């Protein structure tokens, strides 16, 4: 049977009693009742030692740490490293939110948020926890060789888990475009999934190199990025990327993109 919202066990990390009530009410309205509220990051981490939730929902500013600290400590702990994480916060500055995107957050919701936006984010959570298998027609997902390119180890781990859950099995990882370019010279890949902002060589330069100078110039390339500037996104598209997906990304979107790309090849 497929996982439903009623099945989810949630830890809610929110020091404000008022905000706790608002989020809890919205979750209850959507069918989620197994909710454990805590007021600090340390409480949440201690609770997770003996209780593995399906989802952690946290605000950004906590009395003892930030939401970034919390999700990073989760990702560094094997037993809870893949736990779904959602941020609900009034913080909007890129430099604060990007590390959370890179750590594989399911969603980042602004305060104030609506019940409908929470419902959509929870749908992404279900897809992450209980993904549908890929249907690539004549292509066998298990035999596809994927090159993951991202300078964030957290981001690569999140991408790899998501793709593995869909049925992909063969991965090679690179920290930046320069490493990826070197790997492309001696290996054959069926798909590249890359970040945009990276040291040494960014995603746009990598795409330009693949399309203009590589023997694998027609390989599908998906860019998963937190880049928000329209001018840069337009340049990425002109470089020949096959598809662009935002961070945080929805697993369902990645599956749909893959099925479209491989049905065209």
The residue extents of the domains of the chain are: 5-129, 141-263
For residues 182 and 155, is the Cβ–Cβ distance under 8 A? Answer: no
User: Over its length of 265 residues, how does the chain's per-residue pLDDT go in tens digits?
Assistant: 689 999 999 999 999 999 999 999 999 999 999 999 999 999 999 999 888 899 999 999 999 999 999 999 999 999 999 999 999 999 999 899 999 999 999 999 999 999 999 999 999 999 999 988 888 888 899 999 999 999 999 999 999 999 999 999 999 999 999 999 999 999 999 999 999 889 999 998 999 999 999 999 999 999 988 766 666 667 667 778 888 888 888 888 888 889 988 876 5
- Six-digit token string for 124: 């992404």
Record the pTM. Answer: 0.88
In sequence order, the β-bridge partners of residue 10 are 35, 55
* Fold matches, 5-129 and 141-263: yes
CA dist 57 and 199 (Å) reads: 31
pLDDT tens digits, 40-97: 999 999 999 888 899 999 999 999 999 999 999 999 999 999 999 999 999 999 899 9
How is domain 5-129 classified at the CATH fold level? Rossmann fold (3.40.50)
CA dist 9 and 184 (Å) reads: 43
pLDDT tens digits, 191-210: 999 998 899 999 989 999 99
Evaluate whether the domain defined by 141-263 bears CATH number 3.40.50.1390. Answer: no
């Amino acid at each position: 049977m497929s996982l439903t919202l009623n099945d989810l066990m949630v830890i809610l990390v929110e020091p404000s009693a008022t905000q706790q009530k608002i989020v809890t009410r919205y979750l209850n309205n959507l069918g989620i009742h197994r909710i454990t509220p805590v007021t600090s990051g340390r409480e949440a981490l201690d609770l997770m030692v003996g209780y593995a939730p399906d989802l952690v929902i946290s605000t950004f500013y906590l009395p003892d740490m930030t939401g970034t600290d919390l999700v990073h400590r989760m990702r560094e702990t094997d037993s809870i490293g893949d736990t779904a994480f959602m941020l609900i916060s009034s913080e909007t500055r890129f430099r604060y939110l990007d590390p959370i995107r890179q750590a594989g957050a399911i969603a980042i919701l602004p305060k104030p948020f609506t019940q409908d936006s929470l419902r959509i984010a929870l749908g992404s959570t279900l897809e992450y926890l209980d993904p549908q298998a890929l249907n690539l027609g004549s292509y066998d997902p298990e035999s596809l060789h994927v090159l993951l390119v991202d300078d964030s180890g957290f981001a690569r781990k999140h991408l790899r888990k998501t793709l593995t859950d869909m049925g992909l099995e063969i991965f090679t990882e690179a920290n930046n475009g320069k490493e990826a370019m070197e790997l492309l010279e001696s290996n054959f890949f069926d798909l590249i999934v890359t970040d945009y902002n990276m040291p040494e060589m960014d995603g746009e330069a990598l795409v330009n190199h693949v399309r203009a100078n590589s023997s694998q110039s027609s390989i599908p390339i998906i860019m998963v990025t937190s880049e928000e500037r329209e001018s840069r996104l337009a340049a990425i598209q002109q470089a020949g990327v096959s598809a662009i997906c935002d961070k945080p990304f929805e697993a369902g979107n990645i599956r749909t993109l893959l099925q479209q790309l491989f049905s065209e090849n």
